[in-house]
């Protein structure tokens, strides 16, 4: 422990106050020990071990350079607005979606694209899927599969991503007419949980049982819904103000921040799910073996 003047003090002993150690120093040391030895400390140590913040910035760079161009091509060919799709992902209001539209204005020759461009765009999008695949492999300690199985898994994930986006848009329009925000939230939670459950299983090439992936998928779905609520209140106002101040580049900065937050959500959900499995091994073993919980067994024994 280092004091305010650079002097190092010994570890405090209960009931003993070292010379030069103030009450504030002791309270800070005890709070740091409780934080580091608790669940929050274990979560933070696991997240920093896999460099979650650096990985999230890597995902943001790949998404802007590789994924969004493919999204523009697909939405244009399907006669849909890219700004509408992205606004649905971010949960933006009407004013923010209008400001986002200035970033995705179609050009005069947007309908012409070569085969080489399509191949490059698909390879870039697969790089994004490969990044997520490497994350899940590190979190769940799964070795990398062969390149053939990895490529098939990434293609399947990309297809499921666009299917999830389409389903999310359809359910949002249908439930929006009903005017029930609670129902919309529950449907969004179910869809996001199923999507991230499927994502982890497919990208890990079924190396981890589906039952063990569900806690991570559920936590990721909850964090994803929390990010959606935060986006509706913060990113909408941020996009409007940045577009007025800096133009389209201000909108790009907000989208980059959102993609970084997506990376943090994926890391947080998967790591919390793994920590839950590690702290409840007996419960998971009973589920795998098909046995009843201990309190049920004891109750029937008494009878």
Residue 211 lies in a domain: yes
Domains held by the chain: number: 1
Residue 32 lies in a domain: no
> Tell me, what's the pLDDT at 216?
93
**288 vs 253, residue with greater confidence:** 253
**42 vs 24, residue with greater confidence:** 42
pLDDT at 76 over 50: yes
pLDDT at 30 over 60: no
Residue 293 lies in a domain: no
- 124: exposed, middle or buried (C-beta count within 10 Å: 0-12, 13-18, 19+)? middle
Residue 159 lies in a domain: yes
Lowest mean pLDDT among 85-94, 98-107, 189-198: 98-107
Residue 17 lies in a domain: no
Residue 35 lies in a domain: no
pLDDT digits (tens, 9 = 90+) for 252-283: 888 899 999 999 999 999 999 888 888 766 45
pLDDT digits (tens, 9 = 90+) for 111-165: 556 677 777 778 888 888 999 999 999 888 888 888 889 999 999 999 998 888 8
Tell me how far apart the alpha carbons of residues 249 and 260 are, in angstroms, rounded to a whole number: 17
Residue 224 lies in a domain: yes
Tell me the pLDDT band of 200, cut-offs 50, 70 and 90: very high
**265 vs 65, residue with greater confidence:** 265
Rounded to two decimals, what is the model's pTM? Answer: 0.73
Tell me what the pLDDT averaged over the chain comes to: 77
Q: Which domain holds residue 198?
A: 51-280
Mean per-residue pLDDT for 217-231? 90
Tell me how far apart the alpha carbons of residues 93 and 135 are, in angstroms, rounded to a whole number: 32
Query: How far does CA 256 lie from the centroid of its chain?
Result: 14
pLDDT at 194 over 90: yes
> Tell me, what's the pLDDT at 183?
80
> Tell me, what's the pLDDT at 202?
94
**Token couple for 51:** 């460099």
Lowest mean pLDDT among 66-80, 95-109, 162-176: 95-109
Residue 262 lies in a domain: yes
> Tell me, what's the pLDDT at 53?
82
Tell me how far apart the alpha carbons of residues 253 and 259 are, in angstroms, rounded to a whole number: 10
> Tell me, what's the pLDDT at 85?
81
Q: Would you give the DSSP letter of residue 67?
A: I
Using alpha carbons, list the distances in angstroms from residue 137 to 21, 62, 143, 191.
Answer: 45, 19, 7, 23
Evaluate whether 47 touches 267 at the Cβ level (below 8 Å): yes
């Amino acid at each position: 422990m280092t004091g305010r003047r650079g002097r190092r003090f010994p570890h405090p002993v209960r009931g003993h106050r070292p010379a030069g150690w103030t009450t504030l120093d002791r309270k800070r040391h005890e709070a740091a020990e409780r934080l580091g030895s608790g669940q929050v400390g274990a979560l933070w140590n696991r997240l920093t071990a896999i460099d979650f913040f650096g990985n999230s910035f890597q995902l943001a760079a790949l998404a802007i350079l590789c994924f969004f161009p493919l999204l523009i091509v697909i939405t244009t060919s399907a006669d849909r607005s890219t700004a509408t799709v992205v606004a649905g992902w971010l949960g933006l209001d009407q004013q923010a979606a209008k400001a986002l539209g200035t970033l995705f204005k179609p050009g005069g020759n947007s309908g012409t694209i070569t085969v080489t461009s399509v191949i490059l765009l698909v390879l870039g999008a697969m790089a994004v899927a490969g990044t997520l695949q490497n994350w899940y492999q590190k979190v769940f300690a799964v070795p990398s599969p062969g390149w053939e199985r990895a490529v098939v898994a990434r293609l399947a994930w990309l297809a499921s991503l666009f299917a999830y986006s389409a389903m999310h848009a359809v359910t949002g329009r249908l439930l929006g007419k009903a005017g029930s925000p609670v129902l919309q939230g529950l449907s969004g939670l179910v869809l996001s949980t199923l999507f991230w459950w499927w994502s982890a299983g497919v990208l890990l090439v079924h190396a981890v049982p589906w039952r063990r992936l569900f806690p991570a998928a559920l936590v990721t779905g909850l964090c994803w819904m929390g990010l959606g609520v935060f986006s509706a209140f913060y990113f909408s106002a941020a996009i409007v103000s940045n577009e007025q101040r800096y133009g389209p580049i201000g909108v790009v900065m907000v989208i980059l921040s959102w993609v970084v937050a997506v990376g943090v959500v994926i890391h947080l959900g998967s790591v919390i799910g793994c920590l839950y499995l590690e702290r409840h091994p007996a419960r998971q073993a009973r589920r795998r073996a098909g046995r009843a919980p201990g309190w049920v067994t004891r109750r029937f024994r008494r009878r």
